[in-house]
């Protein structure tokens, strides 16, 4: 079929954004195939393999014959394991039937924004923030209401900032702590203040993206709106296995939903993907119920790499990086280089072979910044810093 063929598509598709990380990954791969040495600090995924006991559980599930469809919301032993894990980590009691297993953390975002977003509705989201929030809000026809995050505040959202953006049209507030791309963390006192303030706004639901909650730097504490009784009944918790257990390619995530929404979530899941592949779900049980020292070990490794990355960046003229409080991204200002972020992203890749992501890929308030993932080996980080130093010359 000729590629000049035109199709009469839904106009909403024109409003969809994307994740530049996947475009940069493709360009980096193309350069690598030409024989170039590429250091990939672009994509956000742990560079570790999935711990062996989890891989074995997935293989065993296939050998044991788990080859068919499962219930749309996931197998019950996995939903129960998630409920126990949420209790262990957050001290919150939830029912297993509030848990819906999905193919990756992202899917809970897609479902929640599709359910609430429509013309006339406002959705508050972090800017800079994970690009799919704004993309999906626009796709749904809702009005995106950015919550600007700044380096001066360590990119931490404040309750006052969020509450000042609530109007009668607000239906959803998106939180992401620890955050991509900034590493910002919302302190427990701010989460408590938000819960207190939102008590007066029962028309507002929270989508709390906690996919990096177990990747916190020492001295920082994770807090979830689910821990506050005022919000427990109207919080959608987004989490999954991708970052915590180095399982990005398995496509396994979960949402904890208010009970009243679960039938609708299941219906959307049946319409979209039916269920998550069965062996990945069994592997997910092994991850949650098995030893957790692999999680602590990965978090410790990210601490060490963060120090190398942030110290190195702050030694470069024209760069300034605040300490990320969690996740595995540095989000330095490159304002001192006198180039816009997209030009820096392009030149770092083409001239120096270092894949990074322009801050503007995470929203307009990411201007003047670059995201570098430190989910890479110590040697890769050291070599990347050398190449960044040469970029100055």
Interface residues with ligand PLP (CB under 6 A)?
A: 44, 104-106, 130, 176, 180, 209, 211, 240, 242, 248, 253
Helix (H) or strand (E) holding 15: none
CA–CA distance, 214 with 212 (Å, rounded to integer): 6
**Do you find a cis peptide bond into 268, omega within 30 degrees of 0?**
no
Question: Are the C-beta atoms of residues 212 and 373 closer than 8 Å to each other?
Answer: no
Return the number of the residue (20 or 248) whose C-beta is nearest ligand PLP: 248
Question: Which residue, judged by CB position, is nearest to ligand PLP in the bound state?
Answer: 104
- Across the strands, what pairs with 145? 124
Residue in the block written with tokens 């505040």 = 153
Return the number of the residue (106 or 305) whose C-beta is nearest ligand PLP: 106
Return the number of the residue (207 or 337) whose C-beta is nearest ligand PLP: 207
Return the number of the residue (44 or 146) whose C-beta is nearest ligand PLP: 44
Return the number of the residue (286 or 337) whose C-beta is nearest ligand PLP: 286
Question: Are the C-beta atoms of residues 120 and 256 closer than 8 Å to each other?
Answer: no
Quickly list H helices, 76-168: 76-90, 105-116, 131-140, 159-163
Q: Residue 112's closest CA among 12, 226, 227, 255?
A: 255
Return the number of the residue (352 or 356) whose C-beta is nearest ligand PLP: 356
Q: Residue 246's closest CA among 281, 211, 278?
A: 211
Q: Min. distance of Cβ 350 from ligand PLP in angstroms?
A: 24
Q: Residue 252's closest CA among 223, 275, 269?
A: 275
Q: Min. distance of Cβ 236 from ligand PLP in angstroms?
A: 13
**Local structure of 70: helix, strand or coil:** coil
Q: Min. distance of Cβ 318 from ligand PLP in angstroms?
A: 27
Q: Is 241 exposed, middle or buried (0-12, 13-18, 19+ CB in 10 A)?
A: buried
Helix (H) or strand (E) holding 370: strand 370-373
Q: Min. distance of Cβ 248 from ligand PLP in angstroms?
A: 5
Question: Are the C-beta atoms of residues 92 and 226 closer than 8 Å to each other?
Answer: yes
Q: Min. distance of Cβ 301 from ligand PLP in angstroms?
A: 18
Q: Min. distance of Cβ 130 from ligand PLP in angstroms?
A: 4
Return the number of the residue (283 or 337) whose C-beta is nearest ligand PLP: 283
Q: Min. distance of Cβ 234 from ligand PLP in angstroms?
A: 20
Return the number of the residue (134 or 209) whose C-beta is nearest ligand PLP: 209
Return the number of the residue (241 or 391) whose C-beta is nearest ligand PLP: 241
Q: Min. distance of Cβ 148 from ligand PLP in angstroms?
A: 17
**Local structure of 362: helix, strand or coil:** helix
CA atoms within 13 A on the CB side of 137: 26
Question: Are the C-beta atoms of residues 325 and 154 closer than 8 Å to each other?
Answer: yes
Q: Min. distance of Cβ 240 from ligand PLP in angstroms?
A: 4
């Amino acid at each position: 079929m000729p590629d000049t063929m035109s199709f009469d598509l839904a106009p909403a598709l024109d409003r969809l954004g994307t994740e530049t990380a996947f475009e940069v990954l493709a360009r980096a791969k193309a350069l690598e195939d030409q024989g170039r040495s590429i250091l990939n600090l672009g994509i956000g995924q742990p560079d570790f393999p999935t711990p062996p006991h989890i891989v074995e559980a997935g293989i065993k599930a296939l050998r044991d014959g788990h080859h068919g469809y499962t219930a749309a919301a996931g197998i019950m032993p996995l939903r129960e394991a998630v409920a126990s894990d949420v209790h262990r980590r957050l001290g919150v009691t939830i029912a297993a039937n509030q848990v819906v297993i999905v193919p990756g953390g992202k899917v809970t975002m897609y479902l929640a924004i599709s359910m609430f977003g429509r013309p006339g509705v406002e959705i508050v989201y972090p800017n800079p923030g994970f690009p799919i929030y704004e993309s999906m809000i626009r796709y749904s026809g809702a009005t995106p209401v950015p919550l600007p995050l700044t380096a001066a505040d360590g990119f931490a959202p404040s309750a006052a900032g969020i509450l000042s953006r609530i109007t009668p049209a607000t239906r959803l507030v998106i939180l992401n702590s620890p955050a991509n791309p900034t590493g910002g963390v919302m302190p427990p006192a701010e989460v408590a203040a938000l819960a207190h303030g939102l008590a007066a706004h029962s028309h507002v639901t929270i989508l709390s993206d906690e996919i990096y909650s177990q990747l916190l730097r020492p001295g920082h504490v994770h807090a979830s709106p689910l821990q506050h009784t005022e919000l427990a009944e109207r919080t959608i918790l987004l989490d999954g296995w991708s970052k915590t257990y180095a399982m990005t390619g398995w496509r396994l995530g979960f949402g904890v939903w208010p009970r009243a929404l679960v039938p609708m979530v299941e219906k959307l899941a049946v319409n979209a993907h039916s269920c998550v592949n069965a062996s990945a779900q069994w592997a997910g049980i092994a991850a949650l119920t098995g030893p957790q020292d692999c999680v602590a070990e990965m978090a410790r490794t990210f601490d060490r790499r963060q120090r190398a990355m942030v110290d190195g960046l702050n030694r470069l003229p024209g760069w300034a990086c605040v300490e990320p409080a969690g996740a595995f991204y540095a989000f330095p200002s490159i304002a001192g280089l006198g180039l816009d972020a997209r030009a820096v992203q392009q030149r770092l890749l083409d001239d120096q072979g270092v894949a990074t992501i322009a801050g503007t890929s995470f929203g307009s308030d990411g201007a003047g910044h670059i995201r570098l993932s430190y989910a890479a080996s110590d040697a890769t980080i050291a070599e990347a810093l050398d190449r960044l130093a040469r970029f100055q010359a």
